[in-house]
Structure 1
């Protein structure tokens, strides 16, 4: 709990600081006076005044703000302060000042990703084939385990991630591959198969499969055995290797999972290898129901085991660092992809194709921040980047009170060449506050429901 609270304050502090720093720097660039730069809301805890700006830390760490001279259109301003007034600046300068907050949140994500891609590097595996799927394009092209991929379509391959990226970039067109086997190079051409899988939002998305992998197939080895489930009652133990079900050989975790899911709850004769011993047990799968991201009920048959995963030898692990331009491309691309996913998620929430139960508030953020902090500093920093992108996208929404709402009014002002009527703005602001209060109540309800459910 202490870790979650501390991580939450750190994450929120970084996000708020960068957001408000964007407003502050662009406001000062255009000669707007800044009266307060506050991290947090409520009573001032500590701070320092430099010039006319009070840099302060406030009591409630759930936000922050930059108070500019003349940022309220109906406020009285001393004549000598008019040159420093936000309201009296050209509308396009006001647009840039407001947009700078969420833009700086996107910039923070780019900086974080750039730091990892350029200075630290990302973990990957060597571009060596460890598994060839039978009757796949790679099998027909003659690939074998141990073949090292050197280049695809003339582009050098340094890690397995490069293979996945280059195959995907090819869009299913024939790929010209240079590989090394036993010290000798050879060239082959294969055409990846176009397949369809569910993305994180539950939509069908195409992908291109060459039919080889840099990891060996996941064996049907029992990791953890859940209490109260059929596997536990049948006596399965951690480390057991499942080699057959109902007379069908099991060569991988996916094969086993498919047989169990298609069992319709009928008894299964499961052959297990435990050390030098082979035994057979009867297991009756149970029906398990859960909701997917769309809020749809999904039923599946399970026996209550998990996989221990794959242990990758240190010799196969590599750290990939990008060059200056490559790191910049990767960091901007990563930020774009997460921004796109966030926008699509919001659209699906509005249309009702993604369940509103997926929404979370401060409690969920604190819980996730704590989990990432316990996993390590790298995980926490990546979490800050993802959250920063989400904050930027949400702030660009045209809801009064948010930056996007202010931008909407300023764009209208630019079109009609006069400020929007104050009464209309007040009504819109009240509506915006009402919407945000309702949203906060709802996400708090979701957070509390999750806590009780867990």
Structure 2
């Protein structure tokens, strides 16, 4: 069942990505020969509205084959008003960007649905308090619930850190303890900490940790839109930063995961709850959007770079350069896929 869920989720995300390319291409009058979910041998197809819609044997991706654009033939050049390579560079950029944008949009829609269904988050209830911390000195205790900081109402634990790190000076904490309302003035201190990439950083802290209680957020329509926007932006930023840390060596290459890791994550989420599955699907959708925007010649981001070059210098790269960079891009992608699979297999043996 986990494998089926993985294939369905991946196919859905690929379909949405390629649909972005397809709709943008058709908007500019570009003919689309093939819309494929998967690669390799065709196992199902239907010709409709001038396009062959197909499902292929290897379900680990997909593509739209446009007139005048074919990654398997990088120097392909076809004439006609309905050809991709006769369109203006900015139009090609829109077509290329539409795929990743569709993934970001899909993630936002999923996060919006999660918010309406009842997004779960850590409650703003204090668990551990560090000895000699400013929170300890102010008299905060375990099970205290933070209701408000200054004029900002607190509904979730992560909102506490946002307020502390984005404000200056002392803060007024409104605390619920049993049936009492207490007000504590606390001046956060700059302390050593670690970010999500295990980098040592300094930030304003008061020395508290969550109790671990989970609450369901009750969000209206507009609050759900804000929730979806914030989650999509946060996920996109996190993945962009993760790629940067990987390139600079802060994150070791052993952390790169492949299709086996993705499959296991989706399978585990599907067994946990439907909302957990939706959350992972949204995160993977953002991941696909970000990774496809990387300036690697075989990806959308690489093609966007070629078109930006053409807009700036008023001419296309030579066929030799284009061919070389495209093949080089495929080698990079192939190497990353092999690295991911190698790491996945290593983890399986280590866990056993």
Q: Does TM, normalized by the shorter one, top 0.5?
A: yes
1:163 is aligned, of 160, 165, 177, to 160
Q: How far, CA to CA, are the matches of 1:350 and 1:214 in structure 2?
A: 33
Following TM superposition, where does structure 1 have runs of at least 4 consecutive aligned residues deviating by more than 6 angstroms?
Answer: none
Q: How far, CA to CA, are the matches of 1:213 and 1:349 in structure 2?
A: 29
Q: Is the 8 A contact 2:78 2:85 kept in 1?
A: no
2:185 is aligned, of 185, 189, 208, to 189
**Is 1:65 aligned to 2:63, yes or no?**
yes
1:140 is aligned, of 118, 137, 142, to 137
SS of residue paired to 1:42: strand
1:432-451 C-alpha deviation (Å, 9 max, x unpaired): 22222233333222222222
Paired position in structure 2 for 1:149: 146
1:101 is aligned, of 99, 102, 106, to 99
5+ unaligned residues in a row in structure 1: which ranges?
Answer: 216-309
- The alpha carbon displacement at 1:24 in A equals 0.9
2:115 is aligned, of 117, 129, 137, to 117
Q: How does 1:42-441 map to 2 (within 5 A)?
A: 42-72=40-70, 74-77=76-79, 82-125=80-123, 127=124, 133-144=130-141, 147-170=144-167, 173-180=169-176, 185-212=181-208, 215=211, 312=213, 318-441=215-338
SS of residue paired to 1:63: strand
- The alpha carbon displacement at 1:395 in A equals 1.1
Distance 1:144 1:384, change over 3 A: closer
Q: How far, CA to CA, are the matches of 1:214 and 1:441 in structure 2?
A: 39
1:218-270 C-alpha deviation (Å, 9 max, x unpaired): xxxxxxxxxxxxxxxxxxxxxxxxxxxxxxxxxxxxxxxxxxxxxxxxxxxxx
Distance 1:448 1:59, change over 3 A: same
Number of residue pairs matched? Answer: 347
Identify the structure with the greater helix proportion: 2
- The alpha carbon displacement at 1:131 in A equals 5.8
Q: How far, CA to CA, are the matches of 1:199 and 1:160 in structure 2?
A: 16
- The alpha carbon displacement at 1:203 in A equals 0.6
Q: How far, CA to CA, are the matches of 1:150 and 1:397 in structure 2?
A: 42
- The alpha carbon displacement at 1:214 in A equals 5.3
5+ unaligned residues in a row in structure 2: which ranges?
Answer: none
Q: Is the 8 A contact 2:242 2:251 kept in 1?
A: yes
Distance 1:400 1:189, change over 3 A: same
CA RMSD between the two structures: 2.6
Distance 1:357 1:49, change over 3 A: same
TM-score (norm 1): 0.69
Distance 1:202 1:84, change over 3 A: same
TM-score (norm 2): 0.88
Paired position in structure 2 for 1:266: none
Q: How far, CA to CA, are the matches of 1:449 and 1:142 in structure 2?
A: 48
Paired position in structure 2 for 1:27: 25
Q: How far, CA to CA, are the matches of 2:60 and 2:210 in structure 1?
A: 44
Distance 1:105 1:146, change over 3 A: closer
- The alpha carbon displacement at 1:38 in A equals 1.0
Paired position in structure 2 for 1:280: none
Q: How far, CA to CA, are the matches of 2:348 and 2:128 in structure 1?
A: 42
Q: How far, CA to CA, are the matches of 2:165 and 2:100 in structure 1?
A: 31
SS of residue paired to 1:158: coil
Q: How far, CA to CA, are the matches of 1:205 and 1:11 in structure 2?
A: 36
Q: How far, CA to CA, are the matches of 2:234 and 2:306 in structure 1?
A: 28
Distance 1:140 1:354, change over 3 A: closer
Q: How far, CA to CA, are the matches of 1:145 and 1:354 in structure 2?
A: 35
